[in-house]
Chain A
Amino acid sequence: MFCSGCGCGQIMNALLFAIDELKLDTKNMVAIGGVGCSSRIPAYLDMYAIHGVHGRSLAYATGIKLTKPELKVVVLTGDGDCGSIGGNHLIHAARRNLDVTVIMVNNGVYAMTGGQAGPMTLGGVYTTTTPRGNLEKPFDLCKLVETAGGTYVARWTTAQPAALIRAIKRALLHRGFAFIEVASQCPTIQGRYSLGILDPVKNIEYLQQNSITREQAAKMVPEKLVGKIVVGKFVEKQLPTLEDSYREMENKIGHVSKQS
Chain B
Amino acid sequence: MLGNHAIVEGAIAAGCRYFAGYPITPANEISEWMAKRLPEVGGRFIQMEDELASIYSVCGASLTGTKAMTATASAGYNYMQEGIEYAVAAEVPIVIVDVMRQRGDNYPTQSDVMQARYGAAGDHEMIVLTPSSVQELFDLTFEAFNLAERFRNPVIVLSEATISLMHEGIRLPRPEELRIVNRKKPNVPPDQFMPFRAEEDLIPPMSEFGDEYKVLYTLNPHDESGRIAWTPEMYESLYSRITKKIADKADEIAMYDSEFTGDAEIVVIAYGSEARGCVEAVRMARKLGVKAGMLKLKNIWPVPEKAMKDSTLNAKKVLVPEVNTGRYFHVVRETLGCRAEVISVPKNQGRIHSPDEILAEIRRVL
Contacts and interface: CB of A to CB of B under 8 A. Distances in A.
Interface of A: 26-28, 30, 42-43, 46-53, 56, 58-64, 66-68, 70-71, 88-89, 92, 246, 249-250, 253, 255-259
Interface in B218-274: 218-220, 227-228
A64 B39 contact: no
Given A59-B60, A88-B50, A255 B39 contact: yes
Interface of B: 17-18, 20, 39-40, 42-44, 46, 48-50, 52-66, 68, 82-83, 86, 89-90, 209-220, 227-228
Q: Is the interface of B mostly helix, strand, loop or mixed?
A: mixed
19 contacts: A26-B214, A42-B216, A46-B214, A50-B90, A50-B216, A59-B54, A59-B60, A60-B56, A62-B48, A62-B60, A63-B64, A66-B44, A68-B64, A68-B210, A71-B210, A92-B48, A253-B39, A253-B40, A258-B17
Given A27-B211, A43-B228, A63-B61, A255 B218 contact: no
Contacts of B18: 63, 66-67
A62 B57 contact: yes
Nearest to B53: A59
Contacts, number: 142
A252 B182 CA distance: 31
B152 to A, nearest CB: 16
B59 A67 contact: no
Given A59-B53, A89-B53, A64 B61 contact: yes
B49 A89 contact: yes
A30 B215 CA distance: 10
Contacts of A63: 18, 20, 56-64, 68
A249 B44 CA distance: 11
B299 to A, nearest CB: 27
Nearest to A55: B52
A51 B39 CA distance: 30
A256 B62 CA distance: 20
B213 to A, nearest CB: 8
A42 B214 CA distance: 11
A64 B216 contact: no
A256 B43 CA distance: 9
B210 A59 contact: no
Contacts of A61: 60
B48 to A, nearest CB: 7
B49 A60 contact: no
A56 B40 contact: no
Nearest to A28: B210
B86 A62 contact: no
Contact of A56 (B52, B89, B213): B52
A62 B64 CA distance: 12
A31 to B, nearest CB: 9
A94 to B, nearest CB: 11
Nearest to A27: B212
Contact of B61 (A27, A51, A66, A258): A66
Contacts of A48: 63, 209-210, 213-217
Contacts of B40: 253, 255
Given A59-B53, A67-B44, A253-B39, A52 B68 contact: no
Contacts of B59: 50, 60, 63
